[in-house]
Amino acid sequence: MDSSEQRNVLVTGGNRGIGLAIARAFEAAGDRVVITYRSGEPPEGLTGVKAEVTDSASVDNAFTEAEKIFGGPVDVVVANAGITRDTLLMRMSDEDFDAVIDTNLAGAFRCARRAVTGMIRKRRGRIILISSVVGLYGSPGQTNYAASKSGLVGLARSISRELGGRGITANVVAPGFIDTEMTAVLPEEQKKAYLATIPAGRFATPEEVAAVVRFIASDEAAYITGAVIPVDGGLGMGH
Ligand SMILES: NC(=O)c1ccc[n+]([C@@H]2O[C@H](COP(=O)([O-])OP(=O)(O)OC[C@H]3O[C@@H](n4cnc5c(N)ncnc54)[C@H](OP(=O)(O)O)[C@@H]3O)[C@@H](O)[C@H]2O)c1
């Protein structure tokens, strides 16, 4: 790929899990990639900038640093950073609810808001929000998480309507159960119960999500916007 075709890709929470697989997939395709991380060192071979997505100033700084590294605006932003704080509704504290909304939903909003200035100038851009099958399917014990993830659908669709005419697409990728640290902590019994409901009969790898994100970011996907693309082995069909 010659350097004029390379895109500037920023992946939040790209130091591990699905975000890391996404970053590696873009890099393998020849794009320029910067990941955000919060502590320690960025993974080997990847350029990282620090970002705390609950803090607008931190997001702003991360983009400014990334733009310096790229030598231009971000073309593709993947809002991937996310957390869970699962518990039953009756027991859920305000803090558990707010922390998940602030990270998963408001964090994606902060990144999209910061990203669009450069995208509007370039008249091209890809905003990809990592949601979850749970956003539209619902899940007991995850009222905060599901609310944050379904909120991303309204966010992406509104961005699509606002900026669709400027060469910018905004889409939601909704993974099902993916083998990462987030799902490694689930009790065995719960994992078995989930497996029984997934038509594909298995969990996915982070690379399977990364491949879809890369497609949505490609020129070939220019006419896909405001969509919710499931990568869930059929778990959420019809939702
Ligand atoms: N795993 C699944 O089965 C699954 C299914 C559907 C959707 N998802 C979604 O996919 C995304 C990635 O999930 P994963 O399984 O890869 O999770 P993970 O392994 O737990 O990684 C989460 C990433 O988000 C970062 N992060 C969390 N809070 C942050 C904050 N406030 N500011 C900046 N970064 C923050 C983490 O950074 P640190 O390393 O600093 O903590 C880490 O890089 C999440 O949005 C998740 O909801 C996952």
In this structure, is the dihedral angle defined by the CA atoms of residues 183, 174, 103 and 88, taken in order, positive or negative? negative
Per-residue confidence (pLDDT) for residue 1, from 0 to 100: 62
CA 102 to chain centre: 14
Residue with tokens 């593709």: 76
**Pocket mutation for ligand 1, best pick of 38, 102, 114 (most atoms within 8 Å of C-beta):** 38
Q: How far, in Å, are 5, 39, 73, 210, 213 from residue 45 at the CA level?
A: 21, 17, 22, 18, 20
Pocket around ligand 1: residues whose beta carbon is below 6 Å from it? 12-13, 15-19, 37-39, 51-54, 80-83, 103, 130, 132, 175, 177-178, 180-183
**Is-catalytic flag, 145?**
yes
- Hey, where are the domains in the chain? 8-228
Q: Which residues contact 48 (CB under 8 A, 6 or more apart)?
A: 14, 15, 34, 35, 36, 37, 41, 42
The residue nearest atom 35 of ligand 1, judged by CA position, is 81
pLDDT in tens, 128-168: 999 999 999 999 999 999 999 999 999 999 999 999 999 99
Give the other-Cβ count within 10 Å of 82's Cβ: 26
Closest CA to 126 of 68, 79, 56, 60: 79
Taking the C-alpha atoms of residue 5 and residue 21, their distance in angstroms, rounded to an integer, is 21
Per-residue confidence (pLDDT) for residue 62, from 0 to 100: 98
Residues of the chain with pLDDT under 50: none
The residue nearest atom 33 of ligand 1, judged by CA position, is 52
Share of the chain above pLDDT 90, in %: 90
Q: Of the CATH numbers 3.30.499.10, 3.40.50.2000, 3.40.50.11540, 3.40.50.720, which one belongs to the domain with range 8-228?
A: 3.40.50.720
Q: Which atom of ligand 1 is nearest to the CA of 102?
A: 31
